[in-house]
Structure 1
Amino acid sequence: MARRFALTFPGETGGHADQDMVVVEATGTRGPGGHPVYADASGIVQAEISDAGEVRMMASGGHQTPRTPMHAEPLP
């Protein structure tokens, strides 16, 4: 399993905004599905990523509604 992923999120709905990309790294913990948890440098963006590349976004704080990325690309 990769230690880092680039998560690509869609731009704002109804506009022509660029896609957002966030790099996340393995945290050494596992999520509710038993897969590794990855987080960005700030710790705000957290995701559980399976061996099959399925992504489950995880809220890192109250009142958060994480968006689901369109793509998770393993990085070297």
Structure 2
Amino acid sequence: MPMSVKLSDKLIHEVRQYSIVYRRSIPKQIEYWAMIGKIAEENPDLPYSFIKGILLAQQEVVEGELSPFEFG
């Protein structure tokens, strides 16, 4: 359900910069930051690079880019 929220001018300025660099809309950039923040808060021991790697791996599964792991 869409909802209007008030955000500081400083945050909107930063969001706009990142949304241009990463080619996301402003709302999608805010959603992305919220998702990453939620994951980080729920998993405080995981560094951002690990969280990002997990998200990339999940997308590879969605796209069928899997290869079997061979032991030994």
TM-score (norm 2): 0.25
TM-score (norm 1): 0.24
Greater fraction of residues in helix: 2
Greater fraction of residues in strand: 1
